[in-house]
Amino acid sequence: MEFELNTEIYPKDVIMETCFRYLDRVFVYLDKGSNGTIKVYIQPKNTANRLTHIKEEFLNDLIYTRVRYQIHNNNKNITEFIIKRALYSATLSEEERLKVLENYIKNDSIGKSFDDPEGIAVPWEEKFAHNKADSKHKSRPKKHPAK
């Protein structure tokens, strides 16, 4: 069975990775197609495998691989940043790490000002301190000692 895949939709890396996953079940041959396509030829290794079913699985897996590829590309910069930061901080002394952390905290905009209409960021002690004060000042009925 043969079919063509558009390389604008499915980059070559995506097609190759998908083909690799099917090498245990099918023989795969790729060839350059016309107008930016890749021809895919598949033939089952076991005659019991239905070719149309394998093609449908292959095409679904191709979409899955394409989405993973896109997510990887979208997160590439942040992943590289995290890895570089981890490797960089591993080479610093304790004092240098504290300086980097203090600098990060000073320049971080998260803790400076933000809307908190629900009062989620208010510490528990501050939020309920008035209840403790009220409970101390409320007069409780005194118990008279039994005679």
Residue with tokens 């041959």: 29
Q: Provide the residue-wise pLDDT of the chain in tens; the chain has 147 residues.
A: 899 999 999 999 999 999 999 999 999 999 999 888 999 999 988 877 678 788 999 999 999 999 999 999 998 888 888 888 888 767 777 788 788 788 877 776 555 555 667 777 777 788 787 765 555 555 555 565 665
Say what the alpha-carbon torsion angle 18, 24, 29, 32 is, to the nearest 10 degrees: 10
Tokens of 86: 């981890």
Strands 2-6 and 26-32: unpaired
pLDDT at 92: 72
The Cα–Cα gap between 5 and 28 comes to: 14
Q: Tell me, yes or no, if the pTM score tops 0.85.
A: no
The Cα–Cα gap between 1 and 51 comes to: 7
- Write phi, then psi, for 14 (nearest 5 degrees): -65, -45
DSSP letter assigned to residue 27: E
- Enumerate the domain spans of the chain: 2-107
CA distances from 44 to 26, 50, 107 (A): 4, 8, 59
Q: Is the four-CA dihedral 111, 113, 114, 116 of positive or negative sign?
A: positive
